[in-house]
Structure 1
């Protein structure tokens, strides 16, 4: 079933919702999801073995293992040139990895949202109306995300 509305907490079959009435419609159990994920992992291990790979990290950047399906004969695919996507990434610096090899400091302690959360405490704690006027500059690229997380943790999505 593809209803395109599961993100609205209105999943009609009760899979992607927190609504108790809709969840009653879902006959599955958490163990089924666990089993499914184990099967996905097993299939992935099998495919990786066929490709000669032992870890997912070994596969990162290996566009040489990708190919287009020549059998696809569809008007949307005709004339589609994927050659640039299937080129290896350029190595800009020597000894550079294609994936995260060390922890990254995102500087969250300096995020503007910490100030917004502090200023919004009356609203978060007791539902009072707050008005916050604050300068936002181009380095504040995710303004409101930590604040909205705080709201969701306290009151749900």
Structure 2
């Protein structure tokens, strides 16, 4: 017994085979595209900006939460303007020391220190003094690729 297909039937079978092949290729390219666009590991670098003493408690809490979510994050807190008073040894010394032990860098603006008559010896231990807080914020963002957060 011989089985023959008409030209129309052959065309339909051929079209079905092509459609299946195209679908298979499309799905495999979607899988490889999904693999290629999966979020890559990144270096989490963030600068928190405190220029108002009222924001310090929130900033310290945010930093603590940030480190829980991203333990290897590189975090700096830059204090300038009235916020410079939060880096004076006293109210925030303990939480600052705890965060410093986890690698957080606390940066004091020298211009603000002069403006508020704060001597370097009055700052929390380990605070880094920079000439201008705004210049440090800019440097961290542009040169070091830190994300900026203002609580």
| Larger Cα-atom Rg | 2
- Structure of higher RCO (CA pairs closer than 8 Å, 6+ residues apart): 2
Fold agreement, TM-score > 0.5 = no
Which of the five TM-score ranges fits, normalised by the shorter chain?
under 0.3
Higher strand proportion (structure 1 or 2)? 2
TM norm structure 1: 0.18
TM-score (norm: length of structure 2):
0.19
